[in-house]
Amino acid sequence: MIKTDLLHHESVPVPCPAKFQDTWDDVHVKMPCSNKSLFPVIDEDTQEQQNKSRWELIKETLNKKFTSAYELKKALLNYNASNAKKWDFTALSSYCSKVLEPDAAEHLFNSLLPDMVQLAVRASELCTKPIPLLKRGMNHSITMSQEQAACLLANAFFCTFPRRNSRKAEYSNFPDINFFRLFEGSSPKKIEKLKTLMCYFKSVTEQKPTGLVTFTRKVLDKSPVWKSSQTQLTKLHITCDGTIEDDGSGMLQVDFANKFVGGGVTSSGLVQEEIRFLINPELIVSRLFTEALDDNECLIITGTQQFSKYTGYSQTYQWDGSHQDTTPKDGWQRRCTEIVAIDALQFRNFLEQFHPDKITRELNKAYCGFSRLETDSENLAAVATGNWGCGVFGGDTRLKALLQMLAAAEAGRDVAYFTFGDSRLMTDVNNMHSFLTKRNISVGEVYDLPGPVLQLRV
């Protein structure tokens, strides 16, 4: 999507090709600026139905000045008319009229929103190359500039992406991308989400970002034969202090993902994955083109920038101001931040996760995320992870820690494990690791333990 031969430090990457290529099919993102994106209107003279360009309506509507949340709502519904009775803008209205101070509200309507509009309507100028859908079974990468990502996210904010407002539509196996669910309801969490995302839009409209971001869907074609693995466990650093994003610099950072990447980031969810997507909003772009992950797949995102700080978690989450990301960049001008989205199984029955099939599935999923068969294991960074698939997903913290250690060992990576304040878990996992390493117990020997014995061990 950009000219890689023209990459320069601190200069904005140039889109490639030079002119917009209009593609409207089942294997690419249907763009709002496509000539194929139409909407029906009744001709006033003939009373006959005609199809008009939806993009022209979007540009005409958004280029009118908004002075209130009500006018913004009217604008969004002007080109999403079929959703007028379904969409609720309570959170957006509260943010604009009750949360923002008068000066901040004036800046929002007079400066920030107009800047976001100009970013959104440049879609045909910035996103010239058709964006492939990362469908199931595909090993494929998409690299785009941060400016292109910002343009796509501005369009998501203004809910311009066609065919993406219904879960029964052709994109039913893809996450939501349009932000309409972010605007609904009266939860304080929505207000904090809006604060976090508006911080991002303020940053990218005031100063164009100059880096690149790569999204890679990876399929694990062949799983390890876990039962016969002679691999020894690698090193473990475990702590109850710190976070993956703050203390996992230079490591492979795990996103405790939903199979629909980003989970509830644009709706009501606000745990580990959603928080990471909020403070690094370029991650949200992946929802535009990433089909639900299969059991043998993961998504790797390289180069996203952190724009916000936060405090709390879930119900106590609060935006805590802008963040200056000083992470160094690689030769492709991507920040050296590598995040891997791996989705754990959800367990209603606690004992179900100790079944051999479930253990194998979780091992394969983690191994898919951790392994890089094309890279010498000596050159692989440690995995920065924590209580993957626990909490609302019902995973046992000790079992999940063990499985991640086994998968990391098989992939040739050390582990940095963050227990998020749980000192007892820190001690237990450290003791478990010491027990296994001192006795030179292999990955295969641990895997071969019967389920009931494994329950007792963890």
Query: What does the pLDDT profile of the chain (458 residues) look like in tens digits?
Result: 887 766 666 788 899 899 999 999 999 999 999 999 998 876 667 777 788 999 999 999 999 999 999 999 999 999 999 999 999 999 999 999 999 999 999 999 999 999 999 999 999 999 999 999 999 999 999 999 999 999 999 999 999 999 999 877 789 999 999 999 999 999 999 999 999 999 999 999 999 999 999 999 999 999 999 999 999 999 999 999 999 999 999 999 999 999 999 999 999 999 999 999 999 999 999 999 999 999 999 999 999 999 999 999 999 999 999 999 999 999 999 999 999 999 999 999 999 999 999 999 999 999 999 999 888 878 899 999 999 999 999 999 999 999 999 999 999 999 999 999 999 999 999 999 999 999 999 999 999 987 655 665 55
State if pTM tops 0.75: yes
Helix (H) or strand (E) holding 153: helix 146-157
Q: Of 176, 192, 245, 273, which residue is the catalytic one?
A: 273
Distance CA 356, CA 318 (A): 40
CB neighbourhood size of 322 (10 A): 15
- Across 76-202, the runs of DSSP E, i.e. the strands, are 140-145
Assigned token pair, 129: 């190359």
- Cross-strand pairs, 407: none
First to last CA, the chain: 47
- The CA-atom distances, in angstroms, between 230 and each of 288, 307, 388, 420, 444 are 41, 43, 25, 31, 6
CB neighbourhood size of 60 (10 A): 14
Distance CA 267, CA 270 (A): 9
Assigned token pair, 440: 């030179």
The one-letter amino acid at 107: H
**Residue among 369, 382, 385 at smallest CA distance from 299:** 369
Distance CA 264, CA 184 (A): 13
**Contact assessment for residue 68 and residue 92, using Cβ atoms and an 8 Å cutoff:** no
Distance CA 243, CA 384 (A): 9
CB within 8 A of 135, min separation 6: which ones? 27, 291
Q: Of 176, 192, 245, 255, which residue is the catalytic one?
A: 255
Q: Do the annotations mark residue 367 as ligand-binding?
A: no
Q: Do the annotations mark residue 313 as ligand-binding?
A: yes
**Residue among 438, 362, 373, 429 at smallest CA distance from 402:** 429
Q: Of 147, 192, 245, 274, which residue is the catalytic one?
A: 274
Distance CA 52, CA 78 (A): 13
Burial bucket for residue 452 (CB in 10 Å: 0-12, 13-18, 19+): exposed
Identify the pLDDT of residue 9: 67
**Contact assessment for residue 254 and residue 233, using Cβ atoms and an 8 Å cutoff:** no
Instruction: Give the DSSP letter string of 57-104.
Output: HHHHHHTSPP-SHHHHHHHHHHS-GGGTTT---HHHHHIIIIIS-HHH
**Contact assessment for residue 193 and residue 282, using Cβ atoms and an 8 Å cutoff:** no
Distance CA 151, CA 122 (A): 7
CA dihedral (281, 287, 290, 296) positive or negative: positive
User: Is 273 one of the annotated active-site residues of the chain?
Assistant: yes
Q: Which long-range contacts (CB under 8 A, 24 or more apart) does 325-332 make?
A: 327/249, 329/9, 329/211, 329/303, 330/303, 332/4, 332/7, 332/143, 332/212, 332/214, 332/303
Identify the pLDDT of residue 455: 60
User: Is 255 one of the annotated active-site residues of the chain?
Assistant: yes
Instruction: Give the DSSP letter string of 279-333.
Output: HSGGGGGHHHHBPPP-TTEEEEEE-----EEEES-GGG-EEEEE------B-TTS
Q: Do the annotations mark residue 272 as ligand-binding?
A: yes
- The CA-atom distances, in angstroms, between 457 and each of 399, 429, 431, 454 are 9, 11, 11, 5
